[in-house]
């Protein structure tokens, strides 16, 4: 019998990286179509698939079994593992609440409010600043599930950045803290 080829283990970092690449292909395609430029989405997809195939093949041929990076339940979450729309919302929340360097703590929270479209959303309330945008619940709910936002113990109807959220923001700042530019290397 022939030996079954090894396949690389599931890797959340690899999956997130592939998703980012797919999003960039879709974004470029939409932009090019909107402004009448030549569109080569099929070519971009083919190149991305080829790179993914080569990466998977190389990992499967490697004799060393690499441990799959684990995503801890309580520690800081890697920036890339936060889905894009929730990542944008989290970035805004942290930027307003903690400042660009994380050293300007401002008392802030999210309170429930209706969006312009009439759907449920969350308004960012920060002392001394009045951001006027209401963030959709579909962008906030994943942040609660990931443990980056939590109910305020003093005011349970409000959401605040959790300890995990704060440590995720600090880890992001330590790694360069330039979003979305930091995702360009993935």
- Average pLDDT, integer, range 135-141: 92
Residue 183 has pLDDT above 60, yes or no: no
Distance (Å) of CA 23 to CA 45, 86, 110: 11, 15, 28
pLDDT: is 122 or 19 the higher one? 122
Write down the H helix ranges in 35-158.
Answer: 41-61, 84-98, 137-145
Mean pLDDT of 137-150: 93
- For residue 65, name the pLDDT band (cuts at 50, 70, 90): low
* Structure tokens belonging to residue 110: 């999210």
Beta strands in the chain (DSSP E): 108-114, 120-126, 134-136, 149-151, 158-161
pLDDT of residue 185: 42
Q: Is 149 helix (H, G, I), strand (E, B) or coil?
A: strand
**Pick from 43-47, 101-105, 160-164, 173-177: least confident:** 101-105
Question: How far apart are the C-alpha atoms of 47 and 41, rounded to whole Å?
Answer: 10
* Cβ-defined contacts of 41-50 (< 8 Å, 24+): 48/18, 48/21, 48/22
Whether 126 and 97 have beta carbons less than 8 Å apart is answered as yes
Q: Specify the range with the lowest mean pLDDT, choosing from 14-18, 70-74, 110-114.
A: 70-74
User: Residue 5: pLDDT band by 50, 70, 90 thresholds?
Assistant: low
The residues, any chain, with a CB within 8 Å of residue 27's CB and separated by 6 or more, are: none
Are 96 and 38 contacting, i.e. CB atoms less than 8 angstroms apart?
no
Confidence class for position 150, pLDDT limits 50, 70, 90: very high
């Amino acid at each position: 019998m022939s030996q079954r080829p090894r396949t690389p283990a599931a890797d959340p970092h690899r999956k997130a990286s592939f998703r980012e690449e797919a999003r960039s292909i879709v974004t470029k395609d939409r932009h090019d179509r909107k402004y009448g430029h030549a569109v080569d989405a099929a070519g971009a997809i083919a190149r991305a698939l080829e790179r993914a195939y080569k990466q998977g093949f190389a990992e499967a041929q490697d004799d060393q079994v690499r441990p799959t990076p684990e995503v801890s339940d309580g520690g800081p979450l890697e920036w890339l593992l936060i889905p894009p729309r929730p990542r944008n919302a989290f970035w805004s929340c942290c930027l307003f609440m903690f400042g660009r360097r994380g050293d300007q703590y401002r008392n802030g929270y999210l309170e429930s409010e209706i969006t312009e479209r009439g759907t449920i959303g969350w308004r960012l309330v920060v002392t001394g600043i009045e951001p006027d945008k209401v963030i959709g619940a579909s962008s906030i709910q994943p942040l609660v599930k990931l443990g980056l936002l939590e109910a305020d113990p003093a005011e349970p109807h409000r959401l605040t950045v959790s300890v995990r959220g704060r440590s995720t923001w600090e880890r992001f700042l330590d790694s360069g803290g330039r979003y979305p530019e930091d995702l360009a290397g993935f």
